[in-house]
Amino acid sequence: MKLAYARGPPIAVFAGSWKCTVSPIDGTPIALGEPFGDCEPDIDRLISIATTVRIIKQMGVKVFISRELGEDEVDAAYAGGADGVLEELSFSRDEYRDGVQFVLFQPADPVELVNRVREIAQRHKKPFDVLVATSFENAKVFAPYVDGVVLTGGWVGVELTRIDHLPEVGRCVHCGVDFLMYGNSLKRCVYCGRRLVKVITSTKPPRSKAVFRSVFKQYVNVNRLRFKVV
């Protein structure tokens, strides 16, 4: 099904190329409103997860997810820049345990959290990083107080819509513009002359953490993205 990104944050992160014949590469940002691929319609959940992770990462904290989410969902989170899965961390819950790197909390609010953290530090006198398990909605409340969040759900809303025609899309990362080639075919950006990157492709890089990371890094500084019809 040919799809466009109809509703959600100004920039979403594409994930789920394995459910598409043509699409952006996993981890590629897509602009609100733009057509992006020919995919199974349930890909909205994967795009939503990837987009949520990116938004939380931009708050300056590490983001982890649970393997219990499922393989597709974990890969989507990596496409959004996730730092890892909870089950691979050395952690304990609510209390410091000898040698762990992380202590995971599920507090009601930041006040409960910071006082609990200090109290544990005082008792154990050992270094540890603070993680909070929380939904997307509450992640921004805790982000200023923690080293990382474990996202438990409540993903950002992303809606897709079915479209009739999938144009070629050429991106100028420098200008933050995607050229939707409904009428004309462009090789270079009309604003700066740089060569355009083809966004929609049948190329499928391997589903590996390293590949997701490298694509995420490539676009980490893209904070605005719009499309222009040509």
Q: What are the residues binding Zn ion (CB under 5 A)?
A: 172, 174-175, 189, 191-192, 194
Q: Which is nearer to Zn ion, 84 or 176 (CB)?
A: 176
Beta strand spans in the chain (E): 2-7, 11-13, 20-22, 29-31, 35-39, 62-65, 84-85, 91-93, 102-105, 129-134, 148-151, 159-162, 168-172, 177-181, 197-198, 226-229
In a 13 Å sphere around the CA of 60, the CA atoms on its Cβ side amount to 6
Q: What is the dihedral of CA 71, 76, 81, 87, to 10 degrees?
A: -20
Closest approach, Cβ 173 to Zn ion, in A, equals: 8
Closest approach, Cβ 174 to Zn ion, in A, equals: 5
Closest approach, Cβ 230 to Zn ion, in A, equals: 13
Q: Which is nearer to Zn ion, 174 or 217 (CB)?
A: 174
Q: Which is nearer to Zn ion, 1 or 192 (CB)?
A: 192
Closest approach, Cβ 3 to Zn ion, in A, equals: 26
Q: Which is nearer to Zn ion, 1 or 229 (CB)?
A: 229
